[in-house]
Amino acid sequence: MKKISILLLFLLLAVAIAGCAPQKAGLSSTPGNGVVSSQADPFAEASEVPDGNLGSIGHAPTSMNRDENGNKLPFIYQGGMMSIPYEVSAAGKTKNVGFLVFVDGVSQPYQTDTDPTYRTMHTMDLEEDDKEYPFSILFEPVTGKKGDTLSLMIVSVYAPDFMPDMKNTSSYGMYHDTLAGEYELTFEADAQKPSGNELPKYLQLQAVKQSTQPVTQEYLDSLSIYSGMQPVTLEMLNKRIFTQQFFDGEGGLLSNFHVNQDGTLHITFKLVGYPGARYRSTFYINHSAMAAGETTSFETVLTKGNVSVIDADIELSQLEDLNTFYVVSTLCNVQELWEDGIFLNKTDSVLLYQ
């Protein structure tokens, strides 16, 4: 079972206490913004601090078919409900973990063997350090046809129940980082997604628009805050992925953003980098996917010299007083770009508070 250790940087702790926006901290050498992969070295850019180690987390299928060379073989979908036996272990100061599931980059609602409700995230609290807790992921794929072999991604989110209260805390720090397991799913039958009354009631996005913008020097300069203030060049975008999110035009390293109780909030999400990468991006509020009609995940193919842009409005009356917002972009053509390790990108969680 792959495992990562999560270290709390002193700067993040101090800034969270002070109530200011933290400096972005990389947890791995994986290209992208703070993405931690199950194949990457999680200590490549981490620093030890007086507060010490927050803990570790690992997860994997309880059984995995492999070929003679030890390579993972696809899971098989034969129709109806499918079950993936899985396990998770954790140690340290928090053992709260949640899981997101994606099929071909599309957010996949699922059940577990202990919770028959379809959700885009199920969470659990593990009691003992380093004990393996088995559970089953149950779902009917929302996409896929007989003969397809599609990417299947199972992504843990660290300490998903944590949310700043804008009294004692205002930043997520290292919480909500991800660890992704990448697999394939071969279809021997067409997907038969759950009926509408079984699916989660998605909060709706309004006025969704997808477009592209040319990469300019001014835009490259704006990315330096995500690369340790090192200049970002066009050549870097051939092998790296960058994301940005803006709230009513305000972006950068935001930890929280004040919103009204009614009206709309305009969200702009930008994705740029590796030409040919086919991504699907999903907007989340409180770990539940948002949708435009029935569409939860928005597809884009990155092209050289261009920025992919998704604009959308959120009706603020749908929100609670405190809301966790982030965007997850999953790579669909994983097998084509596997060696470059750019398969998943989650933006920093931002608190939208009323």
For the chain, which domains are there?
3-187 (2.60.40.2550), 203-353 (2.60.40.2550)
pLDDT at res. 40: 32
Please tell me the distance from the alpha carbon of residue 255 to that of residue 236, in angstroms, as a whole number: 26
pLDDT in tens, 117-170: 999 999 999 999 999 999 999 999 999 999 999 999 999 999 999 999 999 999
Residue 110, pLDDT > 70, answer: yes
Burial (Cβ within 10 Å: 0-12, 13-18, ≥19) of residue 128: exposed
Residue 21, pLDDT > 90, answer: no
Joined tokens for residue 151: 């990417």
pTM value surpassing 0.95: no
Q: What is the rounded average pLDDT for all residues in the chain?
A: 84
pLDDT at res. 169: 94
pLDDT in tens, 263-297: 999 999 999 999 999 999 999 999 999 999 999 99
With cut-offs at 50, 70 and 90, classify the pLDDT of residue 322: very high
Which positions ≥6 away from 38 have C-beta within 8 Å?
2, 4, 179, 180, 181, 182
Helix (H) / strand (E) containing 16: helix 10-18
